[in-house]
């Protein structure tokens, strides 16, 4: 019985944000039809690619750092039980309380109960992929607790009743004038003469949240890194909203995926070089906070760490796919992906969009629940080159495509094609049949789905009068 209970499990259905409402190709169609969205995405991803490329080029040992980062993560996964227990021990010794959450439902319950126990009705939040993944805000709201997102992009998403579309910049799909409109209509007390100048917009967020920071007694955060050796947690940010949340409240609750572990303090020297350059294209992000349990007289005096599985052990069980757990959430793969650049993040249906989302979401949920995502890539390989911890995303995509339940017609066609290709005589006959495709004309009228997807925008090649092997034999 205990063996059965100990089997790795997928993230449960009905809670959190790992599954979309429609398959990727359909969801992408909506985004592709929105020229403003495509302009916003192209502008933002082009900007970040340029910045990131420039600061990466400054480091003579970027490739060595990538290799070290990759190996450190593989080491961490191989030693996960020991390192997690070590982290728990160190955090506890430093005055923190560690909780273990097998899935989203349990994590939401733990956090909600902790907030209720403080008697507070409002929490301030630092942007955290883990809490978005588990749908913590909805769970808190159901319990009558108001979660206030304090990251600028999250605030834009929350005020705009929108969904995040990027790991790092959840409002990447909005440009400055759209952000101004959202602030004007949704931000209480905003200056009606607000312009769309980015510093002005940032100042409006500063004014709006200031009093909330000073008066809220509970904060919820994620963590970029949890150091097993010392029990130290790290949050990497830009705006100072993270510092506010980690410093001002009386109670801090941090939700961290079990894969965010780093073995030793020294190992941070690798990740603190990789993450900012790959992520925001900065030599270093403006603020990184590190804390170990409770510091008497400094910052929150009650600290809770929630360690989250929610499908991660299922990812770990796949020897090829487990690399997806090495991700440090920099979003470099999104920024270089030609598919993401055109469809945006909403099309992926999960809080994890882009190439990393296409390999992570299906593994967290089981491929059946995200069957279209492994195909949401042309396998161009730009993501692999950009990944600061060298996750071989294209190979994992191909690997997952093998696990996806295939449509019956496609399965039949693929089996027939393979059989034909393995029998040269049949193959030659098929080649001659291909020449009959001339009858279809350039526009390929009358081709059945999905082949008409090709001919809707592309002419068919004109079949040659003889195949290469005909020519070879005849010369």
From the list 135-143, 183-191, 355-363, 378-386, the region that binds other proteins by CB under 8 A is: 378-386
Nearest CA to 200 among 173, 172, 179?
Answer: 179
| Contact pattern for other proteins over residues 323 through 342, marking x by CB under 8 A | ---------------xx--x
Q: Which is nearer to other proteins, 6 or 189 (CB)?
A: 6
How many whole angstroms separate alpha carbon 60 and alpha carbon 78?
30
Identify the three-state secondary structure at position 255. Answer: strand
- In the list 19, 67, 120, 138, the residue contacting other proteins (rule: CB under 8 A) is 67
Hey, which residues between 196 and 215 contact other proteins (CB under 8 A)?
198-199, 201-203, 205-206, 209-210, 213-214
How far apart, in Å, are the Cα atoms of 427 and each of 423, 430, 460? 6, 5, 20
Q: Tell me if 43 contacts other proteins by CB under 8 A.
A: yes
- In the list 378, 409, 438, 445, the residue contacting other proteins (rule: CB under 8 A) is 378
How far apart, in Å, are the Cα atoms of 36 and each of 178, 179, 197, 339? 10, 13, 19, 16
How many whole angstroms separate alpha carbon 419 and alpha carbon 38?
42
- In the list 13, 34, 36, 47, the residue contacting other proteins (rule: CB under 8 A) is 47
Hey, which residues between 240 and 269 contact other proteins (CB under 8 A)?
240-241, 243-244, 246-248, 258, 265-266, 268-269
Within a 13 Å sphere around the CA of 392, how many CA atoms are in the beta-carbon half?
A: 11
Q: Which is nearer to other proteins, 144 or 177 (CB)?
A: 177
Q: Please give the structure tokens belonging to residue 449.
A: 């789905």
Query: In this structure, is the dihedral angle defined by the CA atoms of residues 345, 350, 351 and 357, taken in order, positive or negative?
Result: negative
Q: Tell me if 436 contacts other proteins by CB under 8 A.
A: no
State in angstroms the smallest separation of the CB of 15 from other proteins.
16
- In the list 19, 116, 163, 176, the residue contacting other proteins (rule: CB under 8 A) is 176
How many whole angstroms separate alpha carbon 263 and alpha carbon 82?
10
State in angstroms the smallest separation of the CB of 460 from other proteins.
7
Hey, which residues between 131 and 170 contact other proteins (CB under 8 A)?
150-153, 156, 168-169
From the list 10-18, 141-149, 217-225, 406-414, the region that binds other proteins by CB under 8 A is: 406-414
Residue 316: CB partners within 8 Å, gap ≥ 6? 8, 77, 80, 322, 325
Hey, which residues between 276 and 305 contact other proteins (CB under 8 A)?
276, 280, 282-292, 295, 297-299
């Amino acid at each position: 019985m205990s063996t059965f209970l100990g089997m790795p499990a997928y993230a449960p259905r009905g809670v959190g944000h790992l599954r979309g409402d429609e398959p990727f190709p359909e969801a992408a169609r909506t985004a592709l039809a929105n020229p403003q969205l495509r302009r916003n995405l192209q502008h933002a991803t082009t900007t970040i690619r340029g910045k990131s490329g420039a600061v990466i080029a400054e480091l003579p040992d970027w490739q060595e750092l990538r290799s070290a980062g990759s190996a450190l993560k593989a080491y961490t996964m191989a030693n996960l039980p020991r390192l997690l227990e070590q982290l728990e021990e160190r955090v506890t010794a430093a005055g923190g309380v560690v909780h273990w959450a097998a899935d989203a439902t349990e994590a939401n319950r733990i956090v909600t109960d902790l907030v209720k126990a403080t008697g507070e009705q409002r929490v301030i939040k630092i942007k955290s992929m883990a809490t978005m993944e588990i749908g913590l805000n909805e769970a808190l709201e159901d319990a009558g607790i108001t979660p206030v997102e304090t990251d600028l992009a999250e605030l834009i998403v929350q005020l705009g009743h929108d969904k995040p579309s990027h790991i790092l910049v959840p409002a990447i799909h909005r440009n400055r004038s759209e952000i101004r409109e959202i602030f004007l209509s949704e931000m209480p007390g905003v200056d009606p003469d607000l312009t769309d100048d980015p510093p002005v917009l940032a100042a409006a967020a500063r004014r709006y949240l200031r009093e909330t920071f000073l008066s809220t007694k509970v904060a919820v955060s994620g963590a970029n890194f949890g150091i097993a050796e010392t029990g130290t947690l790290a949050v990497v940010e830009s705006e100072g909203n993270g510092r506010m949340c980690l410093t001002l409240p009386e109670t801090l609750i941090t939700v961290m995926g079990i894969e965010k572990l780093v073995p030793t303090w020294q190992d941070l020297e690798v990740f603190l070089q990789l993450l900012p350059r790959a992520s925001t294209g900065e030599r270093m992000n403006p603020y990184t906070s590190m804390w170990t349990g409770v510091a008497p007289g400094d910052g929150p005096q009650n600290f809770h760490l929630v360690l989250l599985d929610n499908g991660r052990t299922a990812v770990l069980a796949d020897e090829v796919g487990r690399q997806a757990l090495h991700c440090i959430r920099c979003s470099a793969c999104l920024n270089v992906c030609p598919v993401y650049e055109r469809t945006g993040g909403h099309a992926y249906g999960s809080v994890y969009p882009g190439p990393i989302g296409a390999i992570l979401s299906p593994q967290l949920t089981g491929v059946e629940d995200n069957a279209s995502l492994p195909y949401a890539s042309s396998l161009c390989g730009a993501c692999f080159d950009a990944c600061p911890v060298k996750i071989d995303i294209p190979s994992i995509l191909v690997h997952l495509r093998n696990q996806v339940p295939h449509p019956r017609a496609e399965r039949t066609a693929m089996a027939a094609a393979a059989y034909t290709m393995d029998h040269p005589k049949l193959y030659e006959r098929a080649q001659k049949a291909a020449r009959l495709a001339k009858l279809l004309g350039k526009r390929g009228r009358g081709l059945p789905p999905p082949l008409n997807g090709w001919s809707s925008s592309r002419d068919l090649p004109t079949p040659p009068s003889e195949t290469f092997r005909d020519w070879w034999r005849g010369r």
